[in-house]
Amino acid sequence: MGLAVGYVSVFAFIYLTFPDLLLKPYAAGHSAPVEAIESVADLTGTLADHPPFETIRPVVIQLLYFVAMYSVFDAFAVIFGNAIRGAGIRGFR
């Protein structure tokens, strides 16, 4: 149990303390290269409909906080669910 919760807690700590590090690959290069735009005719219309990254960044950071907490509780649920199943209690199949 300690190994699984420890593993998930490390990633939860990263989600909580370094959200910008996780978002950096998605924030870089919003515009596609000219060659890619010429190969797909309707790409410019699709890119124009999306909001700028700085608009959605605070929402994504809040969602990462939720994911951090959820992952820890999900690890507990998986561990205890399998422990109950392994103990032979039939109600939790």
Angle (CA) 10-15-18 rounded to 5° is 105
Q: Assess whether pLDDT exceeds 50 at residue 81.
A: yes
Which residue carries 């929402």 as its tokens?
A: 59
* pTM higher than the cut 0.85: no
C-beta atoms surrounding 33 within 10 Å = 9
pLDDT tier at 69, thresholds 50, 70, 90: very high
Residue type, 74: D
From the list 59, 58, 57, 62, the residue with the least C-alpha distance to 26 is 57
Q: Give the domain extent around 21.
A: 2-92
Is pLDDT at 10 greater than 90 in this prediction? yes
Name the CA dihedral angle for 25, 26, 28, 32, rounded to a multiple of 10 degrees. Answer: 120
Instruction: Work out the average pLDDT over 43-68.
Output: 78
Tell me how many domains the chain contains. Answer: 1
